[in-house]
Structures are given as structure tokens and as C-alpha cells.
Amino acid sequence: MSKVETKAGENAMTETTTKNRSPLLRRLGVGFIRNILPLVLAIFTSGVLLLAMGKSPAFFYGEVLRFGLMGTGWQRSLVMLAPLLLYGAGLIVAFRGKLWNLGYEGQYLLGGVLVVGFAPFVMGSLPLLLGFIALILVGTLAGGAWTLLPAFLKARFGTNEIITTLMLSFVGIGITNILIRGPFQNVDVTVPQTQVMPLDTMFPKIFGTRIHIGILIAIVVVLIVHYVLTRTSFGLRLDVYGASPKSALHVGIDTPRMVMILFFMSGALIGFAAAVDMLGLWGNMRANWNPAYGSEILPFVFLARLSVLASIPFLAFYAVLATGGALASQDIGLDSHFILVVVALILMFMSVIEFIGMKRDLGQSYLPPTLRKALAKLLPQRKAGNP
Amino acid sequence: MDLLSVAFVSAFIAGFLAASMPLLVASLGETIGEQSGVLNLGIEGVMLFGGYAAFVVTLATGSFAWGMAAGAGVGIVTSLFLLVLSVLLGLNQIVIGLAVTLLGGGMTSVLYFGNYSKSTPRLGKDEPFSLWGLSDLPVVGDSLFSQPAIFWIVLALAIGVWWMLSKTNFGLQLRAAGQNPNSLDASGGNVVATRAIAVLLGGFFSGLGGAYLALISTGTFTPFMTQGVGYTAIVVTMLARGRISWVIGASLVFGLSVAVGTVIQLTNINLPTDVIKMFPFVVVIVVLVAFARSAYVPPALGLPYSRGAR
């Protein structure tokens, strides 16, 4: 036991010396290990899984890059990135306050269906710019409104928000489908779907590419959110609340109001994302359609340490992986849900690496006490075999 | 259709049990986990893994018993993720749970797509195991008391879980691990070991729930077939607060809401299927709003235990 401790002490000492030698290099190294290594490990492990299923990982990842970046792939990826940036910001706002808004799918779909549903009416009666603004407002308010009940229950009774948001998400998906098969249905076609927006009432494209102005809107909004979260007193209060709701109450923060605001902001940004996605890319919605971005971008907002600014490169990486992966998996005869596996592996590796990093910073052992004791018992035997 | 004909009542009871039983099994597992302070948000993924394994094994061997065993076994194996990462290392249970859900959905649909998407095989019906005498009752006898063996085993397991949680020393330790892990530690118990066993038991029941859903309720496996049953199990667990009678009651109410939805489709009432699919979740929301004050969870739920931490 004592041997283990002295060894840990030595390690800590060598660490401090290296820290003094090259802080910048060390920081870069730590940044790489904590943020990039999970991606590398997950991609490697999924490669092994591909091999086990008799597919060539090199070919698969080559195809991912080809479809995600080469040719017009980068444009497709950027188009996908536009709503993801807003979506990610919505998740980050809630997660920074340690509020688990897991009802993102319902919020996104409700926002989206109201946008495409009202689009023919709104775009027909308003000038283009006003129409866009009105429809974005519709999506944003719808997404935000769908968080009000969970937020109220959490703020008033402390009801677990994971459950309420998840259940309301299912209800939201149901209402979306009812709207598509009911008032918003395009009766001219047999497949239940909303009317397709004419291209000239959708977001204009940038310089003859497929990229619509949604990406610019998204970047501007995301930068504003980043400013609010990091440079304003509201952001500070949010971080205090996230660190400890009890201490937030003690320093005079109105915590129930904080819960309501954070939930509404989170849902509103997700609804905004839906509006941008509808007005920029899809233009209509089919029944039972659900892109389910939310759970797939979760690991990337965590890898970005819940920083909106840092989420941009990570979400861009996901956009390439997802646009390329969908086509690549078709190419090699794999279900497109393979990307889910990659994402799940990223989440797991990320958590483990985060854990190791935290222990390292604290100068503690990497192993939980029970495991350490068990290993300490084994250690003398090991030393005998390994002098 | 005549609402009181034997065929109709049978269909109603069959739909009712097909929806309730997998939920009941999964909720039993989730209850054990939550009482010990571990929130298993990956239950949806574990159920899919269990259901897929059960489907494959039953298809290969033709035996429903082996399929059930495989589902439960795979449930235990996949709960090792939660055991190692969340209980032993103390990583965030919500993140790990979501990862397991994604992994389960992704892996099973990739495997199903690769192996069965062209043939889409279906399983037959399991041999019913009739309760002598009761199954001869008129109207409800056959549909209610002539059930596959696993049905009776599940009921026995529910009683077993109740007995374990409320009557045994281990059950007391388990609840202490969720209520106040420090006191369990101080009294000489082992918090990590207790929670580890609870997670494994939870995996057993979740996997079995998935297997029940695939083998008995639907007779096949389809990607993402759980459709929120796992999440509903978490809600049932939170409402039941560790009382097994409530777990059974809540599962039956949920099954009833599903069955009523199916019945409405058979009658002349014109309701879109979307409304019917949504109905159970609306019921859950209404219950949550009505009992908002009493949806209480163990104080240490979701928190990793580290000795001496405040």
C-alpha cells in the first residue's frame, strides 16, 4: 500500500517538472488527449467492429471523407452544420445549468412542423424578409413553449426533468404527425406530408453553391449566445446556478426563474434550428420523419466542454461524419445507424478520458479504492515476476 | 364489431398483456437499480440488445426458453458498461446511459439490417402453459390464464423482487445505498459492491424485458422496437418509489392505455393512430403533473459514491 503511494508521489513530482518545462506544449498535449483522443479511439474501435462484420474500415472511412468533404460534399456538410450549431447551443444552455433537457426531438419537430405548416400562408401574405422573420419566430416560440411544462414542474416541485422532457418529447412527436396528417397535409399527394415550399420562398443560396444563408444566421446567433454565456452577468449567474443551485439561492439568484429561463432558451434555440433547417434545406416535412440530431450531437457538445464557441469545430466534424457516413454506409451495404455506434463509442471514451484527466489533475490514483486495494494485494507478486 | 364477443375480449386481453409485461419486467430491473442509487438511462439500449439476442437464439434453436435466457444474459453483459464506468469509476450516469442507448439502437439495427433485413423472419408462438381449471373459465379463461411459461415466471420474479427489497438484509443494504450511502459504509456495508449487484440484476431484468417484447409480445425483432418502453419503465419506477405493488399497478395501467388505444381502432370511433400512439405518454404526463409532489427519488440517485466526500 505504502509503495503505491510513494510511486504516485514520484509521478506527481515528475509531472510538475515537465509542467514547468513547457507549459504551452503540455497544454496542447492535454487538449489533444482530452478532446481529440476520444474521437480517434472511437473511430479506431468502430473500424475494428467493421472488420468483425467483414467490411473494410479503410474503404468506409475513405468514403466518409469522399462524400463528406470532396466534390460538393463540403457544401452538404455545411448545410447540415447550420441547424446543428443552433441545436448545440440550445443543448449547451441547458446543460451548463445542469438541467437535462432531453426533450429536444419533440421541440425540434414541433418547431419544424409549425414552420412548414404556416409557410404557405405566411410567405403568401408577407414580403420575403418579414416572412422569414415571422417563421423563425414561430419555430423558436414553439420549441421554447414545449419546455414550459417540464420547466414549471422542475422549478415548482423539483420534478425530475429527464422524465418530463422525455415524455413530452414523445407527445410532441405525436402532435407533429397529427398535424402533418391533419391540417397541414398536402392533399395532392398520397404520402402524408406538408406542402413543399417553393424554392423562391426559401433561404437564398450563397454564390451559386448549395449552401443557404442559414449558416451565416446560425454563426451570428451562436456567437451572440457565446457572448451572453461568457461575458454577461447572466452568464455568470447561470454558471453559479449550474455549479450549485443551493449556493445560487444563497447569493440571491431567483432559481425557479433561472430554471424557466434556461429551459425556454434551450427549447427556443432548438426550435430556431428547426426553422433554419426547414427554410434552408427541407422545405416540407413527411409523417414519421425524425432526423434525431439531438442524441447524436450530445458527445460533441460535451467534448466542447459546453462552450458554444468550441462546439463549432466539433459539430463541423460531426456534420462531415454524418453526411459522409450516411452515403458511405449505403455504399458498403451497412445500416446507416452505424453512425450511432461511433457516437456512442465517442461518448464512452470521452467519459473515461475525462475521468483519467480529472484524477491526474487532482494527483490521485486512477483506480477506485476497491480496485486499488485489490491490485495492491497483487502487486508484490507482479514485482517478483517483473524485476 | 361486437364489443363483448369472446374474440374481442381475447384480443383486448392479449394486447393488454403484450404491452404490460415487458414494461413490468423492465421496471422491476430499473427499480432495483434506482433503489440502490443508480439511474440506468441506458435501459432502452439494454432492452434492444436483449431482444435481439433472444430473437437470434430462438430463431436458431427454436426454443423460447433459450431465447429468454440469452436475452437476460446479454442484458447482464451490456449492463457491465454501466457497472464499470458509472459504479466503479463514478462517471456521469446520464452520459453513460445515453451512450448505452445509442449503442444498443445502433448495433442491433446494423446487425438486423445485415442479417435479416431481406428475410424478415418471424417466430411462432410459444407453447402456452395453462393454469389447470382457471383456463377453462368462460370468455376470459383462455386469454388470461393460458400463457407461456415465462409469464408465470415473471410474476414469480416480481414477488421475488418484492421479497428481496423489503424482507432481506441485502434489500435493506440496497436501499441504504440509494438513501444514504455514507451510513451504509459506516455500518460496514460495501456501497460499490451493493450497487454493482443491483446493476447486474437490473441488466438481467432489462434484457429479459427486451426478450419478452421480442419473443412473446411481437414475435419478431425490428430495429428500435422498444419505442420508449425503457423510458416509460423509468417513469413507472419513479412513480412507484420502490413499492413493487405500485410497479405492477403502473405497468398494468400503461398496458391498459395501449390496449384501449388498439380497441378504439377496432370500433367505429375515428381516431388517428398518432393519437393512439401518443395516448400512453399523455397518461404518464398527466400522472406526473397530478403527482408532481410525490414523484420522489432516492436522495443519492445518480450520484457516484466516494468515501469521505461531502
Write the pLDDT tens digit of every residue in A282-332.
999 998 898 888 888 988 898 888 999 999 999 999 999 999 988 888 888
Which residues, 6+ apart, have CB-to-CB distance to A261 below 8 Å? Answer: none
Chain CA centroid to CA B255, Å: 12
- Say what the pLDDT of residue B52 is: 95
- Say what the pLDDT of residue B295 is: 57
Is B213 among the domain residues?
A: yes
What is the distance between the alpha carbons of residues A277 and A143, in angstroms, rounded to a whole number? 14
- Say what the pLDDT of residue A23 is: 77
Coil, helix or strand for B146?
strand
Which stretches of B122-192 are assigned E, i.e. beta strand?
Answer: 128-130, 146-148
Mean pLDDT for the stretch of residues B272-283: 78
Residue B274: closest C-alpha in chain A: A174
The residues facing A185 across adjacent strands are A194
- Say what the pLDDT of residue B132 is: 60
Tell me which DSSP letter residue B22 carries: H
Which stretches of B139-200 are assigned E, i.e. beta strand?
Answer: 146-148
> CB count, 10 Å around CB of A195?
18
* Check whether domain A79-333 has CATH 3.30.460, yes or no: no
Mean pLDDT for the stretch of residues A8-28: 57
Cross-chain residue pair B293–A335, CB shorter than 8 Å: no
Cβ-Cβ pairs closer than 8 A, A with B, add up to 143
Coil, helix or strand for A205?
strand
In this prediction the pTM is 0.85
The 10s digit of each residue's pLDDT in A343-356 is 999 989 988 888 88
Cross-chain residue pair A153–B113, CB shorter than 8 Å: no
C-alpha pair distances (Å), B146 with each of B140, B213, B249: 10, 18, 21
Cβ(B230)–Cβ(B27) below 8 Å:
no
Rounded percentage of chain A residues whose pLDDT exceeds 90: 48
Cross-chain residue pair A369–B109, CB shorter than 8 Å: no
Mean pLDDT for the stretch of residues A22-43: 83
Cβ(A280)–Cβ(A85) below 8 Å:
no
Rounded percentage of chain B residues whose pLDDT exceeds 70: 86
Is B118 among the domain residues?
A: yes
Chain CA centroid to CA B310, Å: 34
Cβ(B51)–Cβ(B214) below 8 Å:
yes
Mean pLDDT for the stretch of residues B182-190: 89
Is B275 among the domain residues?
A: no
Interface test with B, best of A50, A100, A159 (most B CBs within 10 A): A159
More confident residue, A378 or B48: B48
Cross-chain residue pair A149–B107, CB shorter than 8 Å: no
Cross-chain residue pair A157–B293, CB shorter than 8 Å: yes
Q: Which of B13, B68, B10, B46 is nearest to B216 (CA)?
A: B68
Alpha-carbon torsion angle A142, A144, A145, A148, nearest 10: 160
- Say what the pLDDT of residue B281 is: 82
Band of residue A6 on the pLDDT scale cut at 50, 70, 90: very low
Is B14 among the domain residues?
A: no
Mean pLDDT for the stretch of residues B237-245: 85
Residue A169 pLDDT > 60, yes or no? yes
Q: Measured between alpha carbons, how far apart are the two ends of chain A, in Å?
A: 18
What is the distance between the alpha carbons of residues B104 and A201, in angstroms, rounded to a whole number? 41
Radius of gyration for the alpha carbons in chain A, expressed in angstroms and rounded: 24
Residue A11 pLDDT > 90, yes or no? no
Mean pLDDT for the stretch of residues B247-262: 85
- Say what the pLDDT of residue A227 is: 96
Residue B274 pLDDT > 90, yes or no? no
Q: Which grid coordinates are listed for B190?
A: 460495501
What is the distance between the alpha carbons of residues B239 and B256, in angstroms, rounded to a whole number? 17
Band of residue A2 on the pLDDT scale cut at 50, 70, 90: very low
Interface test with B, best of A163, A342, A370 (most B CBs within 10 A): A163
> On the CB side of B274, how many CA atoms lie within 13 Å of its CA?
16
Which stretches of B144-191 are assigned E, i.e. beta strand?
Answer: 146-148
Q: Look at phi and psi of residue A303 and say left if phi exceeds 0, alpha if psi is from -120 to 50, else beta.
A: alpha
Q: What domain range is B216 assigned to?
A: 21-126+143-226
- Say what the pLDDT of residue B199 is: 95
Q: Is B180 exposed, middle or buried (0-12, 13-18, 19+ CB in 10 A)?
A: middle
Q: Which of A160, A108, A156 is nearest to A276 (CA)?
A: A108
Band of residue A368 on the pLDDT scale cut at 50, 70, 90: low
Mean pLDDT for the stretch of residues B149-167: 91
Residue B37 pLDDT > 60, yes or no? yes
Band of residue A236 on the pLDDT scale cut at 50, 70, 90: very high
Band of residue B95 on the pLDDT scale cut at 50, 70, 90: confident
Q: Which of A171, A298, A354 sits opposite B278 (nearest CB)?
A: A171
Looking at the 3D structure of chain B, how many domains does it have? 1
Residue A375 pLDDT > 90, yes or no? no
Q: Mean pLDDT across chain B, nearest whole number?
A: 84
Mean pLDDT for the stretch of residues B165-191: 90
Q: Which of A181, A295, A335 sits opposite B110 (nearest CB)?
A: A335
Band of residue B268 on the pLDDT scale cut at 50, 70, 90: low
- Say what the pLDDT of residue A384 is: 44
Lowest mean pLDDT among A192-201, A268-277, B9-18: B9-18
- Say what the pLDDT of residue A295 is: 84
Q: Which of A211, A99, A202 is nearest to A154 (CA)?
A: A99
The 10s digit of each residue's pLDDT in A74-111 is 999 999 999 999 999 999 999 999 999 999 999 999 99
Cβ(B88)–Cβ(B196) below 8 Å:
yes
Chain A residues touching residue B288 (CB < 8 angstroms): 153, 159, 163-164, 167
Residue A50: closest C-alpha in chain B: B110
- Say what the pLDDT of residue A366 is: 65
More confident residue, B269 or A319: A319
The 10s digit of each residue's pLDDT in B107-123 is 999 999 888 877 777 77
Band of residue B70 on the pLDDT scale cut at 50, 70, 90: very high
What is the distance between the alpha carbons of residues B206 and B78, in angstroms, rounded to a whole number? 10
Amino acid code (one letter) for B266 = L
More confident residue, B233 or B3: B233
The 10s digit of each residue's pLDDT in A240-259 is 999 988 899 899 999 999 99
ipTM given for this complex? 0.85
**Domain locations in chain A?**
1-55+335-382, 79-333
- Say what the pLDDT of residue B277 is: 75
Is B2 among the domain residues?
A: no
Count the residues in chain B.
Answer: 310
